[in-house]
Structure 1
Amino acid sequence: MTIPHARGPISEGLFRLLAGSPGDDPAAVGTLQDLAAAQLPLVDDIIDDGDMQLSLFCLYELHYGGLDGVTDRWEWNPGLIALRQLLEEPFEQALRDAARPYAGTDCAGADHAGPDQPDSAAGLDSDAVADLLFAIAAQEGGPGMSRHVAKRATLKQLREFLIHKSIYQLKEADPHTWAIPRLHGRAKAALVEIQADEYGGGRPDRMHSTLFARTMRGLGLDDRYGAYVDAVPPVALASVNVMSLFGLNRRLRGAVAGHLAIYEMTSSRPNQLYGNGFRRLGFGAAVTAYFDEHVEADAVHEQIAGRDLAGGLVESEPDLFPDVLFGATAVMAIDARLTQHIMGAWDDGESSLRAAIPAAA
C-alpha cells in the first residue's frame, strides 16, 4: 500500500521513521513513543481522531501487505510494537465504552433496551450463544444504509459507498484469519470453513476481494488496495482497525469470533439490497456479483459462525464468553457510527468523504 498523507504529529513522525531502517536512529522510536504519550491525553474521541486511527492502520499494515518503500524489518521492531500497544489501549477502552449499549447496559450501567444477557457462560451451549448473537444482530443500529442504496442512492453516492467499503473489502477475510492458529477443535474447523469460501474455495477469480475489485472497476474506481485511505474519515479506518486489534492479539480471540459472527449475521439481507441498488442504476452481473455472492454464502456462514465458531469456542473456553460479546457489540457500535456519518452527510447534500474523487469514466 502506498503511504498515505499524515493526519497529525504521530502519523507524520511514524512515516518519517519508516522512511529509514530500524538501525538508523535508535532513539527515534522512543521519541515517537513519547510524542504519542503526550498527544493521547489531548484526544477527545480516539475513534474519530484521524491521526490516531491512521497511525494504527499503518502500524497494522506492516503485518499485512506492508507499505510501499518500507523495509519489512520494521514489522516486529520492539519499539513499534510498543507504540502500537500504546495506541491500542485507549482504542480498546473506547470500543468497550461504545459497545456497551448494544450489550444491554449503557455507559453508566443503567438498563438498556438491548437483549438480556447472562452474567456468565455457565450452562450456555452453542445454540444459546448463537441465539444471543442473533438477538444482538437484530438491533437497529441507525439509519438504513442498505435501504437507501436499494431505493434512493445516486451514482455518486454508490461510488462513495464502495470507497468506504474498499478499505476492508479489498483484503476481505485477512484480519479474521489471524485467529485460525489461536483456536482449536470445533471453532477452528468452523473458521477455516468460512475463510475457505471467503478466499474463493481455491479459485483466485472467486475470492471475495477479487469480486469487490471488479465491482470498483465497474464504477470507474481505482481497485488498488489502500488507494482511498486518504479519502475516508477516521471512523472508516477505525472499523478496520478493530478487526486487526482483535486478530493480532491472542487474548482477544473471543472477540474475533464474536466480530465475525455478527458480520455474517448482518450481511445476507443488506447485500441483497445493495445488489438491487446497483441493478436499479443499470449495472449488470459484473458489478453485482460481489453482493449476490454474499446473499447466499452468508446465509450459511451466519449459522456456522454463530453456532460452531462463537458457540463452539464458548463451550470449550467459557471464560471467553465476555470477549465474544465484546467483539459482537463492537461491530454494531462502529458500523452504526460509520453509517451515521455517511448518511448524515448525504442527508445534508454533502460528500461523506474527506476529499473529492474523479468522476466515473
Structure 2
Amino acid sequence: MHLPAARGRVSAALIDVLGGRAAKLPAFARFDGDEDLHLTLFVCYELAYRGWDGVDDRWEWDPGMLRLRAAAEQRFLHDLCEWVGPPETGVDPASVPARLAEIVEADDGPALSKYLRGRATHEQFQEFVTHRSIYHLREADPHTFAIPRLGGRAKAALVEIQADEYGGGSEPRMHQELFKQTMRWFDLDLTYGAYVDTVGARTLAVNNVMSLFGLHRARRGAILGHLAAYEMTSSLPNRAYGNGLRRLGGDADATAFYDEHVEADAVHEQIAAHDMCGSFATAEPALAGDVLFGARCALAVDAWWATGVLDAFEQGRSSLRGSTIAAGLAG
C-alpha cells in the first residue's frame, strides 16, 4: 500500500519521515483537525498490519513513532470519552450480556441501511462500498489481536467467531475475499488500501477505534465489547444492504458478502454477548466496564461515519473526498 497524501502538519511530517524525505518525527503533536489526526493514526497503525510500500518494518516499534502514536491516541480517547462517557467502574460482571443488549437496543444511529435498501443510486452504493473497503479488506484482523490476550471460555468464543470470519480456513469463503466480489461488481480497485486517499476522517476513525483497542492489551475488554456491538447490530443492516444491491441488479456474487453476514452474525450475536463478553467479565470483573465502553464507542463512531455519508447522499453530493475522485468512481 502506497503512503497517502498528508492532511495536515502532523501527518505530513510523519509521511515525510516514513517516505525518506525527512529524518525526524515531530516532537509534539498539534493536529490540524480530524483529518490530520485520523490519517496520522491510520498511518501509524498500518505499520502493525500489512505495512506501507518501501517503509522499513522496524518503524512499527520505533520509540519516536510510538510516542507520536500515543499522543494521537490520547486525543482520540478524549474525543471518545466526550461522546460516550468514560468506562464505568463497579459494573456487575453478570449484567454484561444484558447491558450490551440494552446499549444496542438504545442505539438510534442514522438509517443508512434503510436508505441503501430503498433509495440509493448505483453511484451512491458504489461510494458506500468504497468507504467500507478500508475495513472489509482486512475484516476481523483488528479483533484477532485479542486472541492471545484471553484465556478459557472467552478465548474459545472469540476463536469461534473469528474462524467464521476467516472462512473456516477456506480462502474463497474469507469475508475479506467475499467483499472483493462486491467491489468487483462495482468495478472498484481490489487492492488493499486503494481508497485511503479517497475517504475522509470519519471512515478512518471507524478503523482507528478498532486498532486503538485491539493493539493494546490494556484495552482487551474494549475490543471485545466493540466486536460484540458489531455482531449484535449486523444481521438486519446486512439484509438491507443485500436487498438494496439486488434492487440495483446485483447478482449472487455481488450480494454474497452481505447474505453471509445475515446468517453468520445472527449466531455470533449470542456467542459474542454471552460466551465471549459475559465469560470475560466474569474472569476479569475489573474490566467489565471496559466491555461496555467498547460497545458504546463502536456504535458512536459508526453513527458519526454514517451521518456524514447519509447527509451527503440526501444533499445530492459525494460522500468522498474530492469531486474529481468521486466523479471518477461514478463514471
C-alpha distance in structure 2 between counterparts of 1:354 and 1:33, whole Å: 29
Q: 1:90 maps to what in 2? A: 75
* Amino acid corresponding to residue 16 of structure 1 in structure 2: D
Query: Residue 43 of structure 2 is aligned with which of 54, 58, 68?
Result: 58
C-alpha distance in structure 2 between counterparts of 1:140 and 1:324, whole Å: 16
Query: Residue 310 of structure 1 is aligned with which of 263, 277, 285?
Result: 277
Q: Judging changes above 3 Å, is the alpha-carbon distance between structure 1 residues 17 and 119 closer, same or farther for their aligned structure 2 residues?
A: closer
Q: 2:13 maps to what in 1? A: 13
Query: Residue 158 of structure 2 is aligned with which of 181, 187, 191?
Result: 191
C-alpha distance in structure 2 between counterparts of 1:132 and 1:119, whole Å: 14
* Amino acid corresponding to residue 27 of structure 2 in structure 1: Q
* Greater shift in the superposed pair: 130-139 or 247-256: 130-139
Q: 1:148 maps to what in 2? A: 115
* Amino acid corresponding to residue 263 of structure 1 in structure 2: Y
Q: Is the aligned partner of 1:72 residue 2:57?
A: yes
Structure 2 unaligned residues grouped into runs of 5+? none
Q: For residues 32-57 of structure 1, what are the alpha-carbon distances to aligned partners after superposition, in whole Å with 9 as ceiling and x for unaligned?
A: 123x1xx14xx6xx6xx111100100
Conservation of the 8 A alpha-carbon contact between 1:205 and 1:211: yes
Aligned identity (percent) is: 52
Q: 2:203 maps to what in 1? A: 236
Q: 2:252 maps to what in 1? A: 285
Q: With the length of structure 2 as denominator, give the TM-score of the two structures.
A: 0.95
C-alpha distance in structure 1 between counterparts of 2:289 and 2:78, whole Å: 14
Q: With the length of structure 1 as denominator, give the TM-score of the two structures.
A: 0.87
Structure 1 unaligned residues grouped into runs of 5+? 104-117
Q: Is the aligned partner of 1:223 residue 2:208?
A: no
C-alpha distance in structure 1 between counterparts of 2:191 and 2:145, whole Å: 22
* Amino acid corresponding to residue 151 of structure 1 in structure 2: G
C-alpha distance in structure 2 between counterparts of 1:344 and 1:359, whole Å: 19
Q: What is the Cα-based RMSD across aligned positions, in Å? A: 1.7
Q: SS where residue 75 of structure 1 aligns? A: helix
- Cα offset for 1:332? 1.2
Q: SS where residue 51 of structure 2 aligns? A: coil
- Cα offset for 1:142? 2.8
C-alpha distance in structure 2 between counterparts of 1:119 and 1:83, whole Å: 29
Correspondence 1:155-304 to 2 at 5 A: 155-304=122-271
Conservation of the 8 A alpha-carbon contact between 1:141 and 1:333: no
Q: For residues 298-345 of structure 1, what are the alpha-carbon distances to aligned partners after superposition, in whole Å with 9 as ceiling and x for unaligned?
A: 000111111011111001000001111110000111111111101111
Q: 2:27 maps to what in 1? A: 33
Q: Judging changes above 3 Å, is the alpha-carbon distance between structure 1 residues 249 and 339 closer, same or farther for their aligned structure 2 residues?
A: same
- Cα offset for 1:360? 5.8
